[in-house]
Amino acid sequence: MMDWTDPHCRFFHRLLTRHARLYTEMVTTGALLHGDVPRHLRFNAQEHPLALQLGGSEPFELARCAQLGAQWGYDEINLNCGCPSERVQRGAFGACLMAEPALVADGVKAMLDVVGIPVTVKHRIGIDKTESYAFVRDFVGTVSQAGCQVFIVHARNAWLHGLSPKDNRNIPPLRYALVHQLKKDFPHLTICINGGITTGAQITEELQAVDGVMVGREAYHNPWWLASWDTAFFGVVPVPLNHCAIHTREQVEEKMCDYMAAQAAAHGTPWSAIARHMLGLRNGLPGARKWRQVWSDHRLKNLPPHEVMALAHARSMAVAAELV
């Protein structure tokens, strides 16, 4: 989810669900140790519960970055052992770390030694053409001995050679049964499943076999789905931000316009940098395409966001009227 789940995206998603845990895009240890820490770690207080996802392999560096994450107020540190991109491989982290479970265990222990919040691992079920269940079983077993109690498992192999990151999300086959077997073999661990889950029915089914479900791209492209999660999966009546009831897409959009205006005043952030994350909000509704076109039109960048919203609704309603 690099370049996707930034603070603006997460603020938007938190308007829709108050209880699902949100994850940052992956931040490398080098970026934190040698770059602009506030730029990488700043988040909105409303985003909790929130996990910081780290990319790295050197235990000392991971420990220092975990400390920074804890100091900035994150609720969890998540080590990425699943990203298959060549750029990540050159840095010797991501999915290639699955071939070095002892190194991952050292990194986890180093982080747990310096923070009081959970340290979790996100990984694949295998790398390249290694399809033996024993591979992922032994990886989880080794890393859990270092103290990791939560594993988020993308139920595909990561092919480190010959496939792009995009292809790695689609071509290696999904094998949910291996994730289910992990839960059976490690009943004391929290095992969460990820990959190819696009409906509430799938989530409900998976929760019969594992402890949690992570949803990535489907949640991004069809965000209104998230508005049903608090009731469906957490058994609670949604508690909106700022005690202001949100029942419709329009109310979410209004809140986002307020947020855009505040970000422009505080940081000079253009509304287009924020609006891109909510373009799926009206998916399936009449006039949704025209609505997206307005919010994607950079020629309107000098208009206040509330005026853009009014224009978007006027144009989408005109299309909807034609369909009646």
CA distance 271 to 301: 7
Question: Catalytic site residue 83?
Answer: yes
Catalytic: which of 9, 65, 83, 192? 83
With contact defined as beta carbons under 8 Å apart, do 223 and 13 qualify? Answer: yes
Q: Which residue is associated with the tokens 């265990």?
A: 105
Neighbouring CB atoms inside 10 A of 271's CB total 25
CA distance 102 to 139: 8
The residues assigned a catalytic role are 83
